[in-house]
Amino acid sequence: MAVLPIRKIGDPVLRSRSKEVENINEQTKELIDNMIDSMEAAEGIGLAAPQIGILQRVIVVKIEDDLKVTINPILIKEKGESMAEEGCLSVPDRRGLVKRPEEIIIEGLNEEGEKVKYELEGLKARAFLHEIDHLNGILFVDKAIEIKDEESE
C-alpha cells in the first residue's frame, strides 16, 4: 500500500479513456489499496484510477465512513436534477457549479469481482458521477457553469 502523487490538470493521463478491468487480480487489489490510501491522505471523498496515473475503470468513493470500491461502473438510470459546487483533487484550488442528476443507479463489480448495484442520491450520486467522468477523460471544469478560485470567497 502506498500514497501516490495525484495527477493534476494538464497531465494527459487525465484526458484519456480508461480501459475496462477484464480480470481482478493482485495488481487490481494493489491499485485499489493505493487509491484508498491516496484519497484518504489527500482528504478527498473520491478518486478514480487515472488520478494516480492508471487508466483502468476503477473508482473509490468514501462519504461518512461509507467506502465503496467500484470496478467497471456503469450508470444505468438517472433521475432529477441537482446543481451543486464541486472540487477535484486533480484541479487544486478551484470549485465550480455542476448540474448532475439527483438520483442514479450504478452497476459494477466490487473488489471481490461480485456484481454490485447502488441506488444513490445527492452527494453520493454526485461523487460517483464525478469519478465516472474521470474514467472518460472528463473533468468537472468541462461541465461547470461557473468556476472560481477557492480563496476568492
Which residue has the CB atom at the shortest distance from Zn ion? 88
Segment lying near Zn ion (by CB under 5 A), choices 25-33, 72-80, 84-92, 95-103: 84-92
Check residue 88 for interaction with Zn ion (CB under 5 A): yes
d(CA 146, CA 138) in angstroms, rounded, equals 16
* Residue 30 bears catalytic tag: no
Shortest Å, Cβ 57 to Zn ion: 15
Torsional class of 65: left (φ above 0), alpha (ψ -120 to 50), beta (otherwise): left
Shortest Å, Cβ 33 to Zn ion: 19
3-state secondary structure of 19: strand
The sheet that has 66-79: what strands, in order across it?
A: 46-48, 58-63, 66-79, 103-109, 115-121
Query: How many residues are recorded in the chain?
Result: 153
Q: Where do the DSSP E strands lie in the chain? A: 46-48, 58-63, 66-79, 82-88, 91-100, 103-109, 115-121, 146-149
Q: Among residues 88 and 144, whose Cβ is nearest to Zn ion?
A: 88
Q: Among residues 9 and 113, whose Cβ is nearest to Zn ion?
A: 9
Shortest Å, Cβ 130 to Zn ion: 5
Contacts of Zn ion in 20-79 (CB under 5 A): none
Q: State the amino acid at position 91 in one-letter form.
A: V
Choosing from 103, 131, 150, 153, the catalytic residue is 131
Shortest Å, Cβ 90 to Zn ion: 5
Q: Which residues bind Zn ion (CB under 5 A)?
A: 88
**What are the residue numbers of the active site?**
131
